[in-house]
A and B are shown apart, each in its own frame.
Chain A
Amino acid sequence: MVRIRRFEEEAGKLMEDGKIPGALHLYVGQEAVAAGVMAHLSNKDQITSTHRGHGHVIAKGGQFSPMFAELYGKVTGYCKGKGGSMHISNMALGILGANGIVGGGPPIAMGAAFSNKFRKTKQVAVTFFGDGASNEGSFHEAANMAALYKLPCVFVCENNGFGEYTRQTNHQAVTDVADRAAGYGMPGVVVDGMDVMAVYEAAEEAIKRARAGEGPTLLECKTYRYFDHVGIRGMGLTYRTDEEVDAWKKRDAIASFEKLLTKQGILTAKKIENVYTRANEEIKEGVAFAEASPFPTEADLLEDVYFVGAAS
Chain B
Amino acid sequence: MSEALKNGPRMLPYVSAITEAVRQVLEEQDNAFVAGEDVGQAGSVFGYYQGLLAEFGDRRIVDTPISEKGIIGLGVGAAATGCRPIIDIMFMDFLGECMDEVANQMAKMRFMFGGGATLPITVLTMAGAGMNLAAQHSQSWEAFLAHLPGVKVLMPSNAYDAKGMIIAAARDDNPVFVVLNKMSLAMQAEVPEEMYEVPIGRASIVREGSGFSIFAMGRMVHEALAAAKTLEGLGIDCEVVDVRSIQPFDSETAVASIKKTHRALIVHEAVRFGGFGGEIVAQLQEEAFDYLDAPIARVGAPFSPVPYSPALEKLYIPNAERIVAEVKKVLGI
Interface residues of chain A, those whose CB is within 8 Å of chain B, are: 21-23, 73-75, 79, 81-84, 86-87, 99-103, 132-133, 135-138, 163-166, 170-172, 235, 237, 239, 295-298, 300-302, 305
11 contacts between A and B (CB under 8 A): A22-B131, A23-B137, A81-B311, A82-B305, A83-B135, A100-B137, A137-B97, A171-B64, A295-B310, A296-B309, A305-B305
Digitize B34-76: 1 where CB-to-A-CB distance is under 8 Å, 0 elsewhere: 0001100110010000000000000000011111111000000
Q: Is the CB of B38 within 8 A of A166?
A: yes
Question: Given A82-B312, A165-B38, A305-B303, 11 other A-B contacts at CB below 8 A?
Answer: A22-B134, A23-B137, A86-B134, A101-B94, A101-B97, A133-B66, A135-B66, A164-B38, A164-B45, A166-B65, A296-B309
Q: Which residue of A lies closest to B308 (CB)?
A: A84
Q: Which residues of B contact A87 (CB under 8 A)?
A: 134-136, 308
Report B323 CB to chain A, min CB distance, Å. 18
Chain B residues 87-121 with CB under 8 Å of chain A are: 93-94, 96-97
A298, B307: Cα distance in complex, Å: 11
CB distance from B156 to the nearest CB of A (A): 24
B contact residues around A136 at 8 Å (CB): 66-68, 97
State in angstroms the CA–CA spacing of A301 and B317 once bound together: 11
Residues of A within 8 Å of B42, CB to CB, are 164-166, 237, 239
In the complex, chain A residues whose CB is within 8 Å of the CB of B308: 22, 73, 79, 81-84, 86-87
- Nearest-CB residue, chain B, relative to A133: B66
Which B residues have a C-beta under 8 Å from some C-beta of A?
37-38, 41-42, 45, 63-70, 93-94, 96-97, 131-137, 302-305, 307-312, 315-316
Contact B309 A74 (CB under 8 A): yes
**Bound Cα distance from A297 to B314, whole angstroms:** 11
Beyond A23-B133, A101-B96, A239-B41, whether A73 also contacts B65 by CB under 8 A is no
Residues of chain A with a CB closer than 8 A to B41's CB? 165-166, 170, 237, 239
Chain B residues within 8 Å of A135, by CB: 65-67, 70
- Cα distance A110–B305 in the bound complex, in angstroms: 25
A84-B308, A239-B41 as given contacts; A302 in contact with B97, CB under 8 Å: no
Q: How far is the CA of A164 from the CA of B94 in the complex (A)?
A: 15
Which residues from A are CB-within-8-Å of B67?
135-137
> A74, A84, A102, A237: which contacts B66 (Cβ < 8 A)?
A102
Contacts of B134 in A (CB 8 A): 22, 82-84, 86-87, 100
* Chain B: minimal CB distance from A180 (Å): 13
* Contact (Cβ within 8 A) A82 B94: no
B94 touches A295 (CB 8 A): no
| Complex CA–CA separation, A102 to B93 (angstroms) | 11
Question: Is the beta-carbon distance between A295 and B311 smaller than 8 angstroms?
Answer: yes
Is A301's CB under 8 angstroms from B96's CB?
no
Chain A residues, CB < 8 A from B302: 301-302
A-B pairs with lowest CB-CB distance, top 8: A73-B309, A84-B308, A100-B136, A295-B311, A81-B309, A22-B132, A135-B65, A21-B132
Q: Select from chain B the residue with minimum beta-carbon distance to A71.
A: B308
A141-B271 Cα distance, complex, nearest whole Å: 31
Q: Looking at the complex, which one of A73, A166, A298 makes contact with B315 (CB distance below 8 Å)?
A: A298
Contacts of B135 in A (CB 8 A): 82-83, 87, 100
Distance in angstroms between the alpha carbons of A302 and B271 in the assembled complex: 12
> What residues of chain B lie closer than 8 Å to A101, measured between beta carbons?
93-94, 96-97, 136
Check if A296 sits within 8 Å of B311, measured CB to CB.
Answer: yes
The residue among A73, A172, A302 with the most chain B CB atoms within 10 A of its own CB is A73
Q: How distant is the Cα of A110 from the Cα of B197 in the complex, in angstroms?
A: 48
Residues of B within 8 A of A295 (CB): 309-312
* Alpha-carbon distance between A75 and B307 when the two chains are bound, in angstroms: 12
Residues of A contacting B97 in the complex (Cβ-Cβ under 8 angstroms): 101, 103, 136-138
Chain B residues with CB below 8 A from A83, complex form = 134-135, 308
- Docked CA distance A73–B315 (Å): 14
CB neighbours (8 Å) of B311 from chain A are 73, 81, 295-297
Contact (Cβ within 8 A) B37 A164 = yes
Q: Which residue of B lies closest to A235 (CB)?
A: B45
The complex places the Cα of A295 from the Cα of B308 at a distance, in Å, of 11
Measured between C-beta atoms, what is the minimum distance from B183 to chain A in Å?
A: 14
> Given A87-B308, A237-B42, A295-B309, are A171 and B132 also a contact pair (CB < 8 Å)?
no
**Minimum Cβ distance to chain B for residue A311 (Å):** 21
Q: Are B63 and A170 in contact (CB under 8 A)?
A: yes
Distance in angstroms between the alpha carbons of A137 and B132 in the assembled complex? 28
Contacts of A75 in B (CB 8 A): 309
> CB-nearest residue of chain A relative to B65?
A135
Q: Which residues of B contact A138 (CB under 8 A)?
A: 97
Contact across chains for A301 and B132 when beta carbons are under 8 A apart? no
- B163 shortest CB reach to chain A, Å: 24
Contacts of B64 in A (CB 8 A): 171
Contacts known (A100-B134, A101-B136); A301 close to B315, Cβ less than 8 A: yes
Given contact pairs A165-B41, A237-B42, A301-B316, A81 touches B307 in the complex (Cβ within 8 A): yes
The answer to whether A21 and B137 have CB atoms under 8 Å apart is: no
Across-interface contacts of A297 in B (CB, < 8 A)? 311
B241 to chain A, nearest CB (A): 29
Please report the C-alpha to C-alpha distance between residue A260 and residue B208 in the assembled complex, in whole angstroms.
75
- Give the complex CA separation of A25 and B38 in angstroms: 17
Residue of B45, B65, B131 near A132 (CB, 8 A) is B65
